[in-house]
Structure 1
Amino acid sequence: MNNATPTAVLHRMVMPGHTCPYGLKARHLLKSRGYLVEDHLLTTRAETDRFKAEHGVATTPQTFIDGHRIGGYDDLRRHFGLKVADPNATTYRPVIALFAMTALMAMAAAYAVDGTAISIRAAEWFIGLSMCVLALMKLQNVDKFATMFLNYDLLAKRWVPYGTIYPFAEGLAGVLMVAGVLDWVSIPVALFIGTIGAVSVFKAVYIDRRELKCACVGGDSNVPLGFVSLTENLMMIAMALWMAASPMAMA
Structure 2
Amino acid sequence: MSKSAELYRMATDEHICPFGLKSKDLLEREGYDVNDHLLSSREQTDKFKAKHNVETTPQTFIADKRIGGYDDLRDYFDKPKAGQQGTTYTPVIAIFAVAFLLSLAFSFAMGHGLISMKTVELFVALTMAVLAIQKLQDLFSFSNSFITYDLVAMKVVRYAYVYPFLEAFVGIGMIAGLPAYSIAPISLFIGGVGAVSVFKAVYIDKRKLKCACVGGDSNVPLGFISLTENLFMIAAGIWMLAR
* TM value normalised by structure 1: 0.94
Alignment of 1:147-158 (within 5 A): 147-158=144-155
- 1:206 lines up with 2:210 in the alignment: no
User: 1:104 — aligned with what?
Assistant: 101
Out of 74, 78, 88, the residue aligned to residue 77 of structure 1 is 74
User: 1:13 — aligned with what?
Assistant: 10
Report the AA paired with residue 66 of structure 1.
A
Q: How many angstroms does 1:182 deviate by?
A: 2.6
Q: Deviations over 1:22-52 (max 9, x none)?
A: 1111111101110010111111101100111
Structure 1 stretch displaced more, 19-28 or 198-207: 19-28
Write the distance in 2 (CA, Å) between the matches of 1:145 and 1:92: 17
Out of 177, 184, 188, the residue aligned to residue 185 of structure 2 is 188
Structure 1 stretch displaced more, 73-82 or 199-208: 73-82
* Aligned-partner SS, 2:219: coil
Task: Give the paired residue count.
Answer: 243
User: 1:25 — aligned with what?
Assistant: 22
Report the AA paired with residue 167 of structure 2.
E
User: 2:37 — aligned with what?
Assistant: 40
Q: Deviations over 1:83-122 (max 9, x none)?
A: 1146561011100100000001110000100152211101
Q: What is the CA RMSD across the aligned residues, in angstroms? A: 1.0
- With over 3 angstroms needed to count, the CA separation of the structure-2 counterparts of 1:29 and 1:88, relative to structure 1, is closer
Report the AA paired with residue 161 of structure 1.
R
% of aligned pairs identical? 54
- 1:239 lines up with 2:236 in the alignment: yes
Structure 1 stretch displaced more, 11-20 or 216-225: 11-20
Out of 45, 58, 79, the residue aligned to residue 61 of structure 1 is 58
* TM value normalised by structure 2: 0.97
- 1:49 lines up with 2:46 in the alignment: yes
Write the distance in 2 (CA, Å) between the matches of 1:60 and 1:186: 53
Structure 1 stretch displaced more, 230-239 or 84-93: 84-93
Report the AA paired with residue 135 of structure 1.
A
Please, which runs of 5 or more residues in structure 1 have no aligned partner? 247-251
Report the AA paired with residue 120 of structure 1.
M
* Aligned-partner SS, 2:110: helix
* Aligned-partner SS, 1:130: helix
Q: Deviations over 1:139-158 (max 9, x none)?
A: 00011101100110000011
Report the AA paired with residue 109 of structure 2.
A
